[in-house]
Structure 1
Amino acid sequence: MIQICGIGPFLTIPAIVAVLNGPLAVIGWICGAILAMADGLVWAELGAAMPGAGGTYLYVREAFQYRTGKLMPFLFVWTAMLSIPLIMSTGIIGFVQYLGFFLPNLTPWQSHAIGVVTVALVVLALYRRIESIRSLSTVLWIIMILAVGLTTAAAYTDFHFQQAMSLPPEAASLGKFFTGLGAGLIIAIYDYAGYNTTAYMGDELENPGRVMPRSIIISILAMMVFYLAMNIGVIGTVPWQDVAKSTSVASLVVERNWGHTAAAIVTVLILIAAFASVFAGLLGGSRVPFYAARDGVFLSAFGKMHKKHNFPHVALLVMGVVTAAGTFFDLTTVINMLVAVAVLLQSVAQIAALTVLRKRQPSLRRPYRQWMYPLPSLVALVGWIYVFYATDHQSQLLSTLWIVFGLVVFLVWARIARQWPFGPKHVREEFLERQNGSVQRH
């Protein structure tokens, strides 16, 4: 739940309220929860059957190795090199937006400069060996709970139900509603992102078949209730037209009901949470290409360790540069880009991987099997296709070009490394090997 929330709702409530005309934003949050739940059940089966650090990387590696060798895991890591930093960019954008509470007259270039400097500070703080982020996670959790709790409490201090439920005249137009729903679903699914966290730590769970699906289901339902409560509380305090224009909605709500000092305190909490979330995100994200490179599935340069401090400095620096570049775009553009690039080679690829693995490795032990299979997979597939369609054409084009560029890079890499299609495929059913205690190579 900490990973799901982060700074997301503090940034995106104005956007989802704007595209869905105020009160109808609740439909966006509910539809987002349905898509997250259907997709979460895909994660639950794959993660429980193949517990390990790596998540999607492991699943596509196991499922698609039979026909395309290392292509799919390579392309996943390639897209992660873009999507993970873009998620961090939203945190920096949010940091700068809420900093505007204290510095209201910042010019666009001053805002961009602050964003770049903040990214540089995060990278500098990470440019050392860091063994654990447990303490940071605990602090982040406390800060997040305080910021969320105070904002929600302030919203309901002077709540007006009629205002919260007041629909504009254009809400009756189905065409406008479905157009807005697509944009709202993009925002909502961005805010629900993180329900898959336990799948990335499956090897640390004592009973993944029981813990993983429950953690996903409970987290999504709980966060849906929270988002609805916060969204309704905000527009019941401040007219939704004003909320839609706000760049720091939490500060606006708290200041209106509790005064400037209280708003300043909440704003500081949000600033700390934003910085800490980017810190933790780049720390974990920089390890994705590093481990893939060490596994012989990605560019070897990303597998290099810093000679003195022994950490993956190449991956960190590259992701830091992409994060800084992302801060030059507005929030909606960044969310569209990261969602578009993640849909094809993570969300849709995983749905295919689940089906392929059921056929290719039927004897693999599956502590959890997707409820009502294949219905959740089909719901998730339709939902993700709709989300990709709803992203703007620029994001669709850029994400497609990024994948095509990645395919070219893969072919060059495969030629040099003598991998498929320029060498033999090396099929290793790793999790069946662990299960059976035998070597199954082809």
Structure 2
Amino acid sequence: MSAPGKPPSAAEKGSGFVRRVGPFQATAINMSQMCGIGPFVTIPLMVAAFGGPQAVIGFLAGALLALADGLIWAELGSSMPGSGGSYVYLRQAFQYRTGRLMPFLFVWTAMLFIPLAMSTGIVGFVQYLGYLAPDLGQTSGDLIGLGVIALVVALLWRGVEHVARLSTAMWVVMIASVSLVILAAFTHFSADRAFTYPAHAFELTSNHFWIGFAGGLTIGIYDYLGYNTAAYMGAEVKNPGRALPRSIIFSILGIMAIYLLLQIGTLGVIDWQRMTDPGDIASTSVASAVLEETWGKGAADVVTVLILITAFASVFAGLLGGSRVPYDAARDRVFFRPYAKLHPRHRFPMLGLATMGVVTAVGFLIGRHTDLATLIQLLTTVMVIVQALAQIVAVTVMRRRQPTLRRPYRMWLYPVPSLVALVGWLVIYGYADKNSPGRHPIEWSLAWVALGCAAFVVWARFEKVWPFGPKEISEEFLEPEPPTEKAGSPA
């Protein structure tokens, strides 16, 4: 953001967005996206992956990976606060060798993995709704889920200043729902139940442990995803050089504390074997089971309603940030040009929001009729190649290519967080097929990227850009050097 009295930078001119989202609202948007329905549906999945209450390892490992990756986002986001998040970072970092390939591939994959992540939230919403309405059928659940998606899109069809206030209100509901579940759990907490582990639970020489660890890490990082949501709205955040890094780091640390209390508290009330029994309510609505076990059915119903609101808030925040991704790409002619159009009054990208709403609906139906854990594995694997690993490279490339770039935040202990993130993402990717036998997430992710490369060739040919034209270098976030005074001029 330009200082008072200073003309806006090239990156700010003509963006079409207005900086109205403050640091607290940015943190609330991140946390609402992170702590949606995720932990309430993945605690049983985490227990199943590890085979016991040692599943807390998965949330700790996920927090470490999220923090390491979050520091990458913090440096990139504070120095290049544009609309689209990763699109902006990859465009700037990889333009020197591969032209527009990497930003094109990112948008190509983001239009898939962002709404797929949102679809898991709607699947969880309907799953918990089943606690309040045990007779809810498959068709009725499908229709309700599609209706919720339509409502989210309708609410987002407004100015960002209204969206920011609504996100803050939903954040308060999210904090209330998880706090009540944690409080209920610890009023009836059994340390023996929570910390009695099965034999060979920590047998590090066993391949079974590491397969479970990789599966748990995948579920863990899925639960933390969303710490970067405000970065996608970089062009709408006030004082982004300070607000974005703080919103990322504070949201990760806050959610880490919440998740650990939630996981340990739940394991201290509900026997972990119940969570692995498909016929037990604890396997589908574990938070409701905790409340029913501790404070009774009435309290369980009330908290279940709060969890439904939390799930809604998560999808709301995710589509809010994700719908901005194709806008910058289209404006730079790296994606379909109609995506560059903003709403004439409220100034939000209409087609991006509409498209992601449709893909969310399709992903929801797929998740409802297949397996939630597999859907998580697929969307995470697709995301790893073009976003997670590419951004690790982007941090180093930008430091070398643009050393004078203004960096309000520089990664702590560089390059250690990059290396930690690299190892974590490679573990998730390398074990993906073993954790989803018969589903081939690695092969599907490679096929999707290959299809994206083929689409890029067609696109580049049409646009006459690299490799069919010259590379276009645009270092738009570099501040122009002040003019030098001529010799002999007055001081």
> Do both proteins adopt the same fold according to a TM-score greater than 0.5, normalized to the shorter chain?
yes
Is this contact kept in 1: 2:35–2:314, CA < 8 A?
no
Deviation at 1:289, TM superposition (A): 0.9
Is this contact kept in 2: 1:23–1:167, CA < 8 A?
yes
Residue of 141, 165, 183 corresponding to 2:195: 165
Residue of 323, 327, 333 corresponding to 2:360: 323
CA 17–314 in structure 1, closer or farther in 2 if over 3 Å, else same: same
CA distance in 2, matches of 1:257, 1:48: 45
Is this contact kept in 2: 1:22–1:235, CA < 8 A?
no
Deviation at 1:141, TM superposition (A): 1.0
Deviation at 1:67, TM superposition (A): 1.3
CA distance in 2, matches of 1:395, 1:119: 26
Gaps of 5+ in 2: 1-30, 278-282, 434-438, 484-491
**Match of 2:409, as an amino acid?**
Y
Q: Which residue of 1 aligns with 2:432?
A: 391
Deviation at 1:290, TM superposition (A): 2.4
Gaps of 5+ in 1: none
CA distance in 2, matches of 1:16, 1:186: 9
**Match of 2:66, as an amino acid?**
A
Q: Which residue of 2 aligns with 1:295?
A: 332
SS where residue 90 of structure 1 aligns? Answer: helix
Deviation at 1:144, TM superposition (A): 0.4
SS where residue 226 of structure 2 aligns? Answer: coil
Q: Tell me, yes or no, if structure 1 residue 142 matches structure 2 residue 188.
A: no
Q: Which residue of 1 aligns with 2:447?
A: 401
Matches within 5 A, 1:255-294: 255-294=292-331
Matches within 5 A, 1:334-349: 334-349=375-390
CA 312–365 in structure 1, closer or farther in 2 if over 3 Å, else same: closer
Matches within 5 A, 1:341-420: 341-392=382-433, 394-420=440-466
Is this contact kept in 2: 1:299–1:413, CA < 8 A?
no
SS where residue 405 of structure 2 aligns? Answer: coil
Q: Tell me, yes or no, if structure 1 residue 206 matches structure 2 residue 243.
A: no
Q: Which residue of 1 aligns with 2:122?
A: 92
CA distance in 2, matches of 1:423, 1:132: 43
Deviations 1:135-172 (A, max 9, x none): 21122111101101111111111111001111123525
CA 105–389 in structure 1, closer or farther in 2 if over 3 Å, else same: farther
CA distance in 1, matches of 2:46, 2:361: 25
SS where residue 477 of structure 2 aligns? Answer: helix
**Match of 1:402, as an amino acid?**
W
CA 435–308 in structure 1, closer or farther in 2 if over 3 Å, else same: closer
Q: Which residue of 2 aligns with 1:25?
A: 55
Deviation at 1:68, TM superposition (A): 1.3
**Match of 1:291, as an amino acid?**
D
Is this contact kept in 2: 1:21–1:167, CA < 8 A?
no
CA 349–172 in structure 1, closer or farther in 2 if over 3 Å, else same: closer
SS where residue 333 of structure 2 aligns? Answer: coil
CA 30–128 in structure 1, closer or farther in 2 if over 3 Å, else same: closer
Deviation at 1:310, TM superposition (A): 6.9
Residue of 314, 318, 322 corresponding to 2:351: 314
CA 22–437 in structure 1, closer or farther in 2 if over 3 Å, else same: farther
CA 135–310 in structure 1, closer or farther in 2 if over 3 Å, else same: closer
Indicate the larger mover: 230-239 or 387-396.
Answer: 387-396
**Match of 2:184, as an amino acid?**
A
Residue of 88, 107, 123 corresponding to 2:153: 123
Aligned residues: 436
CA distance in 2, matches of 1:224, 1:406: 35
SS where residue 201 of structure 2 aligns? Answer: helix
CA distance in 2, matches of 1:298, 1:207: 25
CA distance in 2, matches of 1:215, 1:318: 27
Is this contact kept in 2: 1:39–1:380, CA < 8 A?
yes
Is this contact kept in 2: 1:4–1:194, CA < 8 A?
yes
CA distance in 2, matches of 1:116, 1:307: 27
Structure 1 runs, 4 residues or longer, greater than 6 Å off: 306-310
Percent of counterpart pairs with the same letter?
A: 56
CA 17–122 in structure 1, closer or farther in 2 if over 3 Å, else same: same
> Greater helix percent: which structure?
1
Deviation at 1:191, TM superposition (A): 1.1
